[in-house]
Structure 1
């Protein structure tokens, strides 16, 4: 899976936070990183709120998201190189000062990088990936990738121009693969419905064992 860096510019206003959280959830869903969505959304909320509070409403800012190895990296850029975020021991009843403490609690690491015309406040979240371009899902996903590569090699003559297009094409390949399996079951006198039910049951058990990722089965 290709997880290319992306960014979005925005004005630091409270109403922008919800939109940025939705964008983050959407992209992490495409990247297959469902396990860090909640933490990533919290970090985005707190980093943006920090800009609003300490730099100012309406400040032009940028959300940049990328992978650093198997870690998800979130950066918020703003033009003020003087107002540096700091981790303070805020009282539990304090209304301010807890933002970076929350980021520090959920992120593996965080920091500030200074540029000539801006600063970038960043944090990194650990994922369950074993390689930067791998999948969360273990051996089953790896075997499925190997199987689908056979269909891709014969049906995909050139590299699609976007990862979204490649995902849509690969979904068609999945349908082709499942259809071929159903033909094989019929040719060998097997009960396709029984096999599909067994596969669905095993899938649900495995999903529950890794955190209960949401899924929808269409039959």
Structure 2
């Protein structure tokens, strides 16, 4: 049985260091990874930022469809050295679920990866959108 997504609240950062609105399409994933690889957060580039953004954007593509408008935000080390990664999409009803993928499953590991590399993650629901976020330790 799938675990429900964590719902703990995190205060959105008022001024993200990186913010980009785009359409969630497969070619955007590697392009966004490349863009983020050149941005240091804290003292050095943080490879887990790329992983988290890739997984969150891929989830939007898979579960809401190609071409869904999203906003990606990354806020550098704040609150005890944490980096916040957030992806906002226009569907407040489609919440991600942490699943336990079997060894033969071809999908279902994205949120498990996010859960493994982040300090915590969750979902914030707005009236016309939701934001899936995670917090990482400073690289």
- Shared fold (TM-score greater than 0.5)? yes
The equivalent position to 1:55 in structure 2, one of 64, 67, 76, is 64
How far apart, CA to CA, are the structure 1 residues paired with 2:103 and 2:64? 24
Could you state the TM-score of these two structures normalised by the residue count of structure 1?
0.53
How far apart, CA to CA, are the structure 1 residues paired with 2:47 and 2:39? 13
SS of the residue 1:111 aligns to: strand
Unmatched tracts of structure 2, length 5 or more: 1-14
Task: Give the equivalent residue in structure 2 for 1:82.
Answer: 93
Q: Higher RCO, 1 or 2 (CA under 8 Å, sep at least 6)?
A: 2
Unmatched tracts of structure 1, length 5 or more: 129-219
How far apart, CA to CA, are the structure 2 residues paired with 1:93 and 1:10? 33
Could you state the TM-score of these two structures normalised by the residue count of structure 2?
0.82
Task: Give the equivalent residue in structure 2 for 1:43.
Answer: 52
Q: Deviations over 1:99-119 (max 9, x none)?
A: 100100111110000111110
Task: Give the equivalent residue in structure 1 for 2:118.
Answer: 107
The equivalent position to 1:24 in structure 2, one of 18, 21, 36, is 36
Aligned counterparts, 1:118-133, within 5 A: 118-127=129-138
How far apart, CA to CA, are the structure 1 residues paired with 2:43 and 2:71? 23
Please state if 1:15 is matched with 2:27: yes
How far apart, CA to CA, are the structure 1 residues paired with 2:103 and 2:116? 14
- If each structure's strand is expressed as a fraction of its own residues, which one has the higher value? 2
How far apart, CA to CA, are the structure 2 residues paired with 1:114 and 1:13? 23
Aligned length: 122
Larger Rg: 1
How far apart, CA to CA, are the structure 2 residues paired with 1:72 and 1:33? 12
- If each structure's helix is expressed as a fraction of its own residues, which one has the higher value? 1
Offset of residue 125 of structure 1: 0.4
